[in-house]
Amino acid sequence: MKAVLLDRDGVINSLVYHEDAGVIDAPFKRSQFKLLPRVPEAIRLLNDVGLKTAIVSNQPGIAKGHLKPEMLKTFERRMLSEIHSEGGHIDRIYYCLHHPNAKEPDLRQTCRCRKPEIGLLEQAAADLHVSLQECYMIGDGIPDLLAGARAGCRTIFIGRWKCEICQFTEGAVVRPTLVAKDLWEASKVIRAEMAGNSPGISAEPLCATGID
């Protein structure tokens, strides 16, 4: 394996409960953007085992009128600064800014870059000079897993894979290769695989029973 493709919201930074809209979504304000625990260390670990890293993220907030392009760049600068402060780096960043129901006419379209389509993944692989079959795709949502599977990546789901989710998915293609509770754990799973060891901490069943 040569590269790791990462979703952003829910993997790199926290999701936010927007009380006015009653939804959990990406951050819209500067004060809402916070990296999840041990993310910079996880990125550094991936760098240390020789893997290139790229973020491939659906970011329809501008299209929906939730934030301005300048705020998206502010989030990006903060993210890269905090990762760099721990000795890590991201090689490439790709956003899909489109949405089929966008308020902004220029961004209202059905595109090939919005996951679960694989346009972002293809661009990242081309720019990193790797094949998609040599990539991990890490995400916390069904579109991430579908895109990764369609592209031929090895997929890692961040979170807890529940039977309730399985009942509403599009079949076996969406089921992740591995499951990890966060990016730090996922990076250790990858390091174990790169070393040819069994990644014991990925042993959580794909369909877990019980209620959190």
Name the residues annotated as catalytic: 7, 9
Q: What are phi and psi of 137, to 5 degrees?
A: -115, 120
| Tokens linked to 45 | 């670990």
* The token pair that represents 97 in the structure block: 């800014």
Cα–Cα separations (whole angstroms), residue 53 to 4, 43, 136, 179 = 5, 8, 10, 19
- Distance (Å, whole) CA 100 – CA 107: 8
* Positive or negative: CA dihedral 29, 40, 151, 154: negative
Angle at the Cα of 33 from the Cα atoms of 30 and 34, rounded to 5 degrees: 140
